[in-house]
Structure formats: structure tokens, C-alpha cells
Amino acid sequence: MGPAPVVSISSNAAPRSPFGFVGRAGRAARALTTAASALTLAVGALTLAPAPTHAADPITTQEYVSYYGFDAAHEKGYTGKGITIALFDGPVDTSAPELAGANIVDKSRCTVNDSPDGVRHATDMATLLVSRYTGVAPDATLYTYQISSEDSQPGGTCVRGADSTDSIDKLINQAVDDGAQIISISLSNSEHGSEIKWAIARAISKGVIIVASSGNGAKDENISHLGRWSGVVGVTAINTDGTFASYSSWGNGVVTAAVGGPVNTLDANTNQPVTVQGTSYATPLVAGMLALARQKWPDATPNQILQSLVHSGLNPNHEWNQYTGYGAIDGGGLVIDDPSQYPDENPLLNKPGGSEPTADEVADYADGIVSPSANEGIPDSYVYRGIDDKVVLYQADLKTPLHLGTSPRYHRK
């Protein structure tokens, strides 16, 4: 595969920020370029040079902290307090020194016997989100959900196949039931059925924002990542000099970009310090910054928060492209601009090239008129409120409750 086309992106103004990162992010916005190579990486990370730390000590410094000015944000009270984030990944090692004092609750539906690399990846994701040292939203509550991956080994209790206990759709529905407000997922996904579509429709209708990585294959990987679905915040990676990361994949589902590394961590097998990078690491940064925005603007709807994300993207005039979406995320813009100025409409329901669920499908789901007898993947908690005779006919075969004729759509003026 030859190199991807180079797209130069410039900005007319530096982002506004109380975080103190105007200089770095301003340069990033002005210098932002897109260039991808044929390098193919796993969805987790790329191991680079050793980082200066000791295995027994907590990792207390990260370049992304200074890049975005998170210390200044935390001093101003933007810490994610009162916000609940769900993380879908491998088992998190909560004994890691970086996670001391973090509010983490395991909500897994089952257990995964993961490899050391899988556990390290999950622990890194949790660290970026809620570490007291280097987390974006250290006062947020983190719900963790174990999910199988290529690193998983036999021995866990999760069941795969038709009766899977840890499929993406079931975890989304579980996280919604548990009260999560933001879901962070740094995994590839091969599931494309209606189960995911209706789980995402439910999340959208309940105001839960899903943030997902775009992959590290240095190519268009839209078809294999959750960003392909409507409403999902697809995330690509930039470097700390503002250039598009050569390993980052892209596609029509991309909404924004964030720094993908270098991130200081430990080698999973030797426990020696290393640095890593990937869209995996950019994703929790975006999820964390959205948590800060939700904390700052508690009266704004999730749709308005997403509108603010789109309208503050660092591309010129916030114009969309398949590499950085509407532009690299401006965390300062998210907390400065009052989202109530934007319409209460989800801006991600019709992604370039078309995406599902459609706006009509989300509205139908929210109003309870999607037929559970004609659509696979409708969760058991769904309440049908329509008047379709076929639903009544198949009522004995359905697990979902029926409240016929009670849809709010029938009573709106």
C-alpha cells in the first residue's frame, strides 16, 4: 500500500483555553498535517524508547498533561467530579500505583483471562482517565467492563458466540443501565449486526456518549471500528507537534483527534519503563475532556456537548475531513463555550457516506415504536409503546414488555 495523500490543515486562531495550553495547541492547529504510511500496528500500542521512571514508583509525568495543560484545569476545579465513565477493555490492575485513590468500580458481566499485554493496556486506559497523577478526569467515577480481545486466553467466565456475555451491544446496554454518561472503547470491533445498532440507538436516546478509537493500521479502517456508527465519537491520533500520527487509521466515522503518545508506561512482561502510542491512548483523552465539559455544563444536554465538540474542532472553520474529523479536540473550548447556544440535536447522526442508526431510527427507538418482533438486538429492557398488530401477534414470544398505544409520539401536539 502506498502512502496516503497529504492534507495540510491550518488554523486562523489559537484555541481559547483556561488550561494554559494555548501555545502548544495553537502551534498544533497551525501545523496540523495528515500523512499516513504503510505501517500496520495492533490496536493497542507501539513500544518505543525507555521512559525515565522506576518500576516500583507511580508514573507521575506524561507529555499529554503538559500539552493540554490538565494541571491548570484541575486547579480550576475541572476534574470530572460527578461524572461516570465506562471503560470497555481487559481487566484493570487497580493495584497499579498510578491508580491509587482512583474511584474505580468493576461492573464486568463476566471475567476475562487476559494476557499481560491486555491487562497493561486496560490499566493504561484507566490511568489516562482517572489517575490522581496523570488522569484527565481524576475525580470521575470509572466503571470497568472486561471484554474479550485477541489477547484473551482460555479460563475466563465470558462466553463467546451466539450467547456471548461480553459482546459490545450487551456491554453498552449494561453501561447505560448502570448510569454511565460516557463510554470509552479502545478496541477494534468485528460485530456489525443490528444488535450494535439498537444498543447505540439506546445510548443516544439516553444521552450516553460513546467514544471509540479508529485503529492503528495507517489506512481507512472505518468498517472495523465503532466510529462507523452514528453518534459515536471516532478518534484518530496526532503527535505532540500537531502532525497527524503516521500509524493512525482514519475514515468516515472520525469526529475528532487527540494526542496518541508518547505515553509513559511499563512493559507488561519485564515491568521496565517504556513509551507507547496509538489511537487507543487518544481515545480516553477525548472521553476525559468530554467528562470535564459535562461537569462544567451540567444543564447542557449531551447533544449540545457534542455540538460544542464539533464547533470547537481545530480544523479551519471546523470543516470535516476523514483524518481528523472536525479537527483536533480543543479541551479549553469545550469548557469555555456555553453549549446551550447550540441546538439540542445530535450532530453525528448522519456521518459522511451515511451511517446507522439514522435519526429516524433513534427517534423511533426513543418513542418506543420500533417493533421488537421485527428487529434483532432489541434489549429486554425495551418497552414497546406502538400499535403494530404483528407485535401483539408475537407477544408470547417476546421478552420485552408491551405498553400498547402509549408512545409519546401519539400525544404530541
pLDDT band at 51 (very low <50, low <70, confident <90, very high): very low
Torsion angle, alpha carbons of 64, 213, 306, 348, to 10: 150
In whole angstroms, give the CA distance from residue 179 to residue 176.
Answer: 5
Least confident of 83-97, 190-204, 384-398: 384-398
Domain 7-341: assigned CATH number: 3.40.50.200
In sequence order, the β-bridge partners of residue 238 are 244, 259
> What are the tens digits of pLDDT across the range 119-160?
999 999 999 999 999 999 999 999 999 998 777 776 788 887
pLDDT confidence of 3, banded at 50, 70, 90? very low
Question: CB neighbours (10 Å) of residue 240?
Answer: 18
Residue 257 near residue 236, CB atoms below 8 Å = yes
DSSP string, 22-74: HHHHHHHHHH-EE---S----SS----SPPS--TTSPP---HHHHHHTHHHHH
Helix locations, 297-337, DSSP H: 302-311, 331-336
- pLDDT tens digit sequence for 155-194: 788 887 666 888 899 999 999 999 999 999 998 765 667 7
Choice among 46-50, 100-104, 278-282, 316-320 with the minimum mean pLDDT? 46-50
Instruction: Give 13: exposed, middle or buried? Use CB within 10 Å, 0-12, 13-18, 19+.
Output: exposed
Domain ranges of the chain: 7-341, 368-411
pLDDT value, residue 370: 92
User: What backbone torsions phi and psi does residue 384 show, to the nearest 5 degrees?
Assistant: -80, 130
Instruction: Give the C-alpha distances (Å, rounded to integers) separating 352 from 26, 254, 323.
Output: 27, 9, 12
The Cα–Cα gap between 63 and 4 comes to 27
Asked whether the beta carbons of 294 and 92 are under 8 A apart, the reply is no
| pTM to 2 decimal places | 0.89
Is the per-residue pLDDT at 9 higher than 50? no
388 band by pLDDT with thresholds 50, 70 and 90: confident
Residue count of the chain, please give it. 413
Q: Which residues pair with 33 in a beta bridge?
A: 8
Per residue in 252-266, pLDDT tens?
999 999 999 999 999
